Amino acid sequence: MDTPSRRSQPFLLTALTLLLGSACTRTPVPADVPVAPFAYAEARIDDLQAQMARGELDSVTLTEAYLQRIASLDRSGPRLRSVLLINPAARREAAQRDAERRSGRIRGPLHGLPILLKDNIDATPMATTAGSLALRSFHPDEDAFVVQRLREAGAVILGKTNLSEWANFRSSSSTSGWSAVGGQTRNPYALSHNPCGSSAGSAVAVAANLAVAAVGTETDGSIACPAAVNGIVGLKPTVGLVSRGGIVPISFSQDTAGPMTRSVADSAILLGILAGRDGADPATATMPGRAVYDYHARLHPDALRGARIGVLRPALVEQPEIAAVFAQAIAALRDAGATVIETRIPTEGQWEQDEQTLLLYEFKAGLERYLGTAKAPIRTLEQLIAFNHEHAAREMAHFDQDLLEQAARQGPLTDPAYIAARTRARRLAGPQGIDAALQADRLDALIAPTTGTAWLTTPGQGDAFPGGSYSAAAVAGYPSLSVPMGHANGLPLGLLFMGTAWSEPRLLALGYAYEQLTQARRPPAFSASPAAPARRH
């Protein structure tokens, strides 16, 4: 699973890479580190584009500013370890976008803006490592489909972000945000605490203002969870809205890439660029013609008026500090004109074992297809397992690879056990789960706390994962949107909006209206302890 393991807790290269390394996990957490003010802190896509249009800013200047901030926060200072690789062509790409702008050519809404990618997404000329030493010398020949879309829209690919190795599908006792290539990513709100997985680096980099935005990936919670605990917006789209071509897989039933941003508006803009049909990904053929919109144009601060919202109350709300923030969120929704109704997903949790079976089968098949097609230095799961044993001092210093070993024992995707598990899981989470809850009370969306607050990072001891509310949407292949909800004990909490398939326009509109009303995001203070007051940088 790409969120923290459910069994370890109650359950899932450039010089910069050499400077990070797996030994980083042994570096003591520093005391509070002074951080210099940043001219582009909390900058949003529309604001930056407006400055560029007026001639007040250019892409080279902005790119250089982010590179300097990465150097001061990721490689020194708080040492967040969120950025794994710097694109050696980033400055050249920025200069090209500036030249195009001067000639009157604007490619799209991201023209000249630096974007980071999770390091399981292919982007030339950089390596794609998935955090594993086995792939540290692997340089794919082509960009992933989503990277092609970003470049067509004018984005500058700034670099790659650290992640839970193999998207946290390696061990049931893994530590989220750790990879052998990049070491342990730190939560910028409390450096001793965990960023959640597996899109940990993408979330931390966005929260810390190391790029305009980032792209993460999710199988079950790996956009939603790090977005929530790092105080940003994360959108997991409907499976099939965004291509998985050129992305290291876990599950073709559940995998998707998605936006990770500091605002809902930026997520809407980024989703409009990422979404699209790809002949290399059959899932995108299921996309209805109405699924891709100008999502940004559909945002409105009054979108909650008249909406019908179903409130889910997972075990998370039994914690008083979470219950208090969630109650404030519900009150805000009512004040904005929404009708709020207590509800439940009737099949909650009934899909868990089937999901695990599905993931074990699909990981083996999908990974070996990716490695073989991309001509990677390893081609099979057995070769990966053998590599990790041969390099155990670095690869298995903190946890084992039991999920890889379980996956290697699975049969083909024609096995009746797999087919039955996949069918049941998707039905229980989708038509009999989320859809049943929505239809029972004619609801626009369901809400719940995304997850709890970040936990102390303890290498070798797994994750003290508090639980999450996003699995139903993940297993069903439906969208979910996490928006900053508030803070408990100095740490961020997220509010999760879930809907039926292809409901991204409605979820984004609702999330945007909630965000505009509450303004709950606070930039991180890069403190050693979680209770320190936030400062704006």
The whole-angstrom separation of Cα 216 and Cα 203 is 8
Active site residue 118: yes
The whole-angstrom separation of Cα 441 and Cα 453 is 30
Pairing of strands 339-342, 308-311: parallel
CA distances from 114 to 102, 143, 150, 323, 465 (A): 18, 16, 10, 37, 32
Active site residue 375: no
Of 164, 222, 251, 527, the active-site residue reads 222
Of 198, 251, 469, 471, the active-site residue reads 198
Amino acid identity for residue 516 in this structure: Q
> Is residue 214 within 8 Å of 160, Cβ to Cβ?
no
Say how many C-beta atoms besides its own lie within 10 A of residue 414's C-beta. 7
- At 364, list the tokens: 């083996």
Q: How many helices (H) and strands (E) does the chain have?
A: 17, 13
Spell out the residues 6+ positions from residue 279 whose beta carbon is closer than 8 angstroms to its own.
none
Active site residue 198: yes
CA distances from 146 to 61, 117, 392 (A): 25, 10, 34
Closest CA to 77 of 196, 182, 208: 208
The residue length of the chain stands at 537
Q: HSE of 76 in the Cβ direction (CA atoms, 13 Å)?
A: 8
Extended beta strands in 173-261, E state: 178-179, 183-184, 213-218, 233-236, 256-261
Closest CA to 170 of 248, 238, 244, 118: 248
The helix/strand/coil state of 200 is helix
> Is residue 48 within 8 Å of 176, Cβ to Cβ?
no
| CA 110 to chain CA centroid, nearest Å | 19
Rounded to 5°, angle at Cα 440 from 300 and 432: 105
The whole-angstrom separation of Cα 19 and Cα 344 is 48
The whole-angstrom separation of Cα 33 and Cα 416 is 56
Amino acid identity for residue 386 in this structure: A
H or E stretch covering 421: helix 416-429
The helix/strand/coil state of 463 is coil
Pairing of strands 308-311, 445-449: parallel
Of 8, 59, 118, 160, the active-site residue reads 118
Amino acid identity for residue 84 in this structure: L
Provide the annotated active-site residues.
118, 198, 222
